[in-house]
Structure 1
Amino acid sequence: MFPTRALFAPGVRLTLFTRVGCSLCDTAKDNVLNVRKRRPFDYSEIDVMAPGNKIWKDVYEFDVPVLHVQTVEERQAGAVEEVSEPKKLFHRFTEQEVEKSIDEAQQQPI
């Protein structure tokens, strides 16, 4: 990757939907964090079984791990606005699939 490309590429946010005791989720998290060592992106995790996450439990309880990859753009100082629908990766995904999804998200027009 060229340095100038990184400077002008849109930001990317990855959200991993997971739950405690899920070995597939642990593998998915390792894959995402290994990619993060090589490429910068915002990252968060949501435990679908945690209190207060009923909306995500209803959607993903039996599908975790699920990874949302979204293009984001900073609109005002510190305020990030999502500008793309999430690309979703389910269950068993590799580091290469995560990187490919990031590349695709960055190529979407803003």
Structure 2
Amino acid sequence: MGSSKELSGLALVLPQEWALEYIKMRITSRLYQQSCRITLFTRKHCGLCIAARSVLSDVWDSRPFEFKEVDIVKPESQAWKDLYDFDVPVIHINKASAPEEDPQHATHARKLMHRFTPEQVKAQMDETEKN
């Protein structure tokens, strides 16, 4: 049995599996509206940073998010270097709609440092999306 959907005044009959895919796409698009942004603070030649990228890649495969990477060694990132020089990798997890990262408000950020697992990242994403 199919389902019907009105499209520009025309009734369109979709097979059941298409209808389910349509519903999944609508639900997914709503979830993405509340998706997270993850900012990775890193530096070159950092073994833990490579591992952190791998963890974030694993998370991305099952749960996409906006991503930004900040190399704290670059001159324009001096304020971040002052904060995280000995702590990289650090990730900040915010709602995608949140303002850009600001070093002056970093103490309020939801973050993970050094070593973390995909499960820890997803748990922080869950908390971010709830609030």
TM range (shorter): 0.7 to 0.9
Task: Please point out which of 83, 87, 111 is paired with 1:88.
Answer: 111
Mapped to 2, the partners of 1:54 and 1:98 lie a distance apart of 26
Partner secondary structure for residue 87 of structure 2: coil
Structure 1 stretches lacking a partner, 5+ long:
74-80
**1:106 maps to what in 2?**
129
Aligned residue pairs: how many? Answer: 99
Alignment of 1:27-38 (within 5 A): 27-38=51-62
Task: Please point out which of 31, 44, 59 is paired with 1:20.
Answer: 44
Q: Compare CA radii of gyration and give the structure with the larger one.
A: 2
More helix by percentage: 2
**2:20 maps to what in 1?**
none
Structure 2 stretches lacking a partner, 5+ long:
1-22, 101-107
Q: Which amino acid aligns with 2:90?
A: V
TM-score normalised by structure 2 residue count:
0.68
Partner secondary structure for residue 94 of structure 2: strand
Mapped to 2, the partners of 1:33 and 1:6 lie a distance apart of 21
More strand by percentage: 1
**1:68 maps to what in 2?**
92
**2:70 maps to what in 1?**
46
Write the deviation string for residues 65-108 of structure 1: whole angstroms up to 9, x where unpaired. 000000132xxxxxxx439x520101000111011111111111
Question: Deviation of residue 6 (structure 1)?
Answer: 5.7
**Superposition RMSD on alpha carbons, in Å?**
2.0
Deviation larger for 52-61 or 8-17? 8-17
Partner secondary structure for residue 62 of structure 1: coil
Contact in 1 for aligned 2:38/2:68 (Cα 8 Å): yes
Partner secondary structure for residue 79 of structure 2: helix
Write the deviation string for residues 25-83 of structure 1: whole angstroms up to 9, x where unpaired. 1001110111011112100110101121101110001000000000132xxxxxxx439
Runs of 4+ in structure 1 deviating by more than 2 angstroms, as ranges, are 2-6
Question: Deviation of residue 5 (structure 1)?
Answer: 6.5
Tell me the percent identity: 36
TM-score normalised by structure 1 residue count:
0.80
Mapped to 1, the partners of 2:75 and 2:38 lie a distance apart of 22
Partner secondary structure for residue 63 of structure 1: coil
